[in-house]
A and B are shown apart, each in its own frame.
Chain A
Amino acid sequence: MAKASSPKKMSSMRKSEALMGYLFIAPWLIGFLVFVAGPMIFSLYSSFTNYDGAFTMDWVGLSNYRRLFTTDQYFMISLKNTLYFAVFAVPIGVAVGVVSAVLLNQDIPFQRFFRTVFYLPKILTGVAVILLWMWVFNPQAGIVNTFLRFIGVDNPPLWFAAPEWSKPALIIMSAWGAAGGMLVYLAGLQGIPKQLYEAAEIDGATGARQFFKITLPLLSPTIFFKLVTGINGALQYWSTALIVSDGGNGGPSYSTLFYGLRMWKVAFTESRMGYASAMAWVLLFMTLIVTAIQFYVSNKWVYYEGERR
């Protein structure tokens, strides 16, 4: 190891140290190579084939990609649905997370209790929670519509059963889960020096001004992190739609046919693994582009103490 770069021979102790180092990271390294890198490379390769999940795997060149961008009738529909979801769910999620973190950062009685309660959505996940939400949004008996009727709305929305309301319902659902993300913001808030607030208070700054001039700027790296991971997650959003829509078909009227759901159907209903792999790689590149833009724009609003990145 490092034979050419170091003039002296590596001492036997350093050698064994290096070996130990590799040995220690081996579980992760092997896991990464076998379960992440390997499948990714295979998926990249099969995106250029007509792989059907079994024995057919002929090279088709760029055909999958070409068809995805030219003739695929569901590409734009599913992409629009996904973007709609991401555009609303991510900012709302961030806002909910920041606000709940600021509230839970106050010195109030039962602070720990409230923190636990607000963190619960992160622990409660899966199909059970989705089924619960389907009852919350139940057009006839759900609490949302019962409330709406109570305040005088005559024809409350049909939520998951109406194409124009199914996505808003899913966004509200994800906002509820986002409150659980406050833990990261809470950590960020703890890192803001107290004396900044003290100085601001002496100068007579109001609470709102303190929030916008101190809290938000100093929390911006955390917000940025949650924004990047949140958008990545939103672009891959699909499994809830599988459960919520009738027959998992992304209905009503394609309104919950997300990119990920479409990909799953192509791969596992139609057995067109090659094509689905191409879809996955296109999604990866779209995510990369969005992330790159975010990093570029982040220079304008993300504040790192002392240095500009």
Chain B
Amino acid sequence: MNWRKFLATSLTAALAVSIVAGCGGKKEETPAPSTPTPTAPVEQKKVELEFWGHWSSEQRRPTINKIIETWNTKNPNIQVKYTAVPFDQIITKFQAGVTAGNAPDVAVLDAFTAQQRASKKQNLDLSAQGADAIKGEFFAAPWSAGTYNGKQYSLPFVTDTRMLFYNKAAFKEVGLDPAKAPVSWDDLWAAADKLDKKNGKTLERVGFHPGNDFALWVLNNKTTLWNADMTKPQVNNPVAIETLEWMKKWNDRYTNEAYTAFKATFQGGANDAFITGKVAMRVDVATFAAQIKKYAPNMEYGMVPVPTKDGKQHPATSWAGGFGIEIPANAKNPKEAYAFAKYLATEAAGVWAAEQYDMPGWQKAAQGINDPVFTAMMGNMPNTIFYPRPLAAMDYGTATQKATDDVFAGKATAKAALDEAQKAIEQMVKDNAGK
């Protein structure tokens, strides 16, 4: 076992020396000398939990410290210590830690890979700890991100939802009614007809562009790129082809060359293309509203559900991502770790949401915030789906992105490109299943 542990730990080093495994701190389990309050709901021994997140910035740190202090004061027998691990390393380190037996007790990790870790028996089955009892308290989309084979492996911490942002001032400028937001794909097209502004070949203002989130627009168009149990790709189904053709129509509207050049000038922060008025309508995470508030507090904009083909909302109009709370499969103190995880997912998520303007996965936390943006986000959650990455081909996005690249550049028709992607993904599925 030790030999195996050693070898397992070293492989990570072989591939990337910088992420040499087993960097997690050591946990100490020291029995408390004597507990003054025998009525405490926890066991008599004192437990120290190691908690990993990727928040280290000046903006994030105070909130996470506050959350942990609150817990530590209330639970003298379960003391939590927070470690910030860089975002690009946290998953690898967590996995290496699980293999080596020194993973953190609780970690906040990307929701899109939770099921992958569950399938590899890296994270703890939280249903066994009683997680199913609190299922109803969370939004359905982020909750589903942590479900694998009917069991829960991750509790939602924060999530998000996409909405259409539109520039009301630009609407007024071109004679569109700012109170009438686009609800269908045709509405977007008609509005863009008025909003587009060109100077020779250079684009000055783009009315709307769906971007290259192909998989997500397919959901919006009421179908999926995978079969129901996510085992077989169907990326060249007729609706998907239609969706890609629709995206190409938008790209052609501006020409590939001009739009690519235009897109490359996009920046962040105060120079965001929507904030500076270069893009009049855009689908973005709802919390983008916070950025507008920060950099352009007087901007006149609207925030509405993502338009659909027929103008009617359905359960997969918009899409969610987010972060979930996980416990390693070989946790030494699963009970205590779960107690803290539950606190993080519920009460603490409320504190986080209020201070950091993130959408919590816990419904009550979102309801507690009196803010128009949160109200809009809450209203959009029933139309929001969490579409997991298929374990059969986690990297299938590489192939679909090639398809959108080729179609946008005019190198292939939507059907030809998606037929090619379908073949490539089928091969990936085979490779992943192969021994």
Which A residues form the contact surface with B (CB < 8 A)? 34-35, 38-40, 42-43, 45-46, 50-58, 60, 63, 67, 71-73, 134, 138-141, 155, 158, 160-163, 246-247, 249-254, 257, 265-273, 275-277, 280
Contacts and interface: CB of A to CB of B under 8 A. Distances in A.
6 contacts: A39-B11, A46-B11, A54-B99, A55-B122, A60-B435, A158-B264
Contacts of A51: 11
A268 to B, nearest CB: 7
Contact of B14 (A43, A160, A251, A270): A43
B92 interface: yes
Contacts of B402: 249, 251, 253-254
A272 B13 CA distance: 15
Secondary structure type dominating chain A contacts: loop
A276 B395 CA distance: 14
B262 interface: yes
Contact of B406 (A253, A269, A275): A253
Nearest to A59: B435
B240 to A, nearest CB: 18
A254 B398 CA distance: 8
Contacts of A42: 7-8, 10-11, 14
B264 A271 contact: no
B397 A249 contact: yes
Given A249-B402, A253-B402, 7 more contacts: A39-B12, A40-B14, A139-B260, A158-B264, A160-B264, A253-B406, A253-B411
Interface in B4-33: 4, 6-8, 10-15, 17, 20
A160 B263 CA distance: 12
Given A35-B20, A71-B427, A158-B257, A269 B264 contact: no
A51 B116 CA distance: 15
Given A53-B99, A54-B95, A265 B395 contact: yes
A140 B120 contact: no
Contact of B261 (A67, A139, A163): A139
Given A42-B7, A247-B401, A251-B401, A67 B434 contact: yes
B148 to A, nearest CB: 14
Contacts of A267: 15
Interface string B170-195: 00000000000000000000000000
Given A55-B99, A140-B264, A269-B394, A252 B14 contact: no
Contact of A273 (B11, B122, B265, B432): B11
A39 B13 contact: yes
A161 B401 CA distance: 13
Contacts of B411: 253
B202 interface: yes
In the complex, which of the residues B264, B431, B435 has the most CB atoms of chain A within 10 Å of its own CB atom? Answer: B264
A53 B95 contact: yes
B409 to A, nearest CB: 7
B98 interface: yes
B116 A246 contact: no
Nearest to A267: B15
A43 B265 contact: no
Nearest to A44: B14
B424 interface: yes
Contacts of B202: 140
A34 B7 CA distance: 10
Most buried by A among B91, B116, B402, B432: B402
Interface of B: 4, 6-8, 10-15, 17, 20, 91-92, 95-96, 98-99, 116, 120-122, 202, 212, 257, 260-265, 393-395, 397-398, 401-402, 405-406, 409, 411, 424, 427, 430-432, 434-435
B13 A35 contact: yes
Nearest to A266: B395
A39 B349 CA distance: 40
A270 B397 CA distance: 12
B212 A246 contact: yes
Contacts of B20: 35
Contacts of A271: 116, 120, 394
Contact of A52 (B7, B17, B120, B212): B120
Contacts of A43: 11, 14-15
A27 B259 CA distance: 56
A158 B12 CA distance: 37
A71 B15 contact: no
Contacts of A40: 14
A158 B263 CA distance: 11
B14 A277 contact: yes
Contact of B395 (A50, A60, A138, A270): A270
Nearest to B95: A53
B402 to A, nearest CB: 5
Interface centre among A46, A251, A266, A271 (most CB of B within 10 A): A271
A53 B121 CA distance: 11
B427 A73 contact: yes
Given A35-B13, A73-B424, A276-B15, A55 B435 contact: no
Contacts of B10: 34, 38-39, 42
B427 A252 contact: no
Nearest to B408: A252
B265 A63 contact: no
The 6 A-B residue pairs whose C-beta atoms are closest, nearest first, are A39-B14, A139-B261, A43-B14, A140-B261, A39-B10, A39-B13
Contacts of A55: 99, 120-122
A71 B427 CA distance: 8
Contact of B122 (A54, A63, A140, A276): A54
A107 B181 CA distance: 70
A38 B7 CA distance: 8
A233 to B, nearest CB: 16
B435 A58 contact: yes
Contacts of A251: 401-402, 405
Contacts of B6: 38
Contacts of A160: 264
B244 to A, nearest CB: 15
Nearest to A55: B121
A141 B11 contact: no
B15 A273 contact: yes
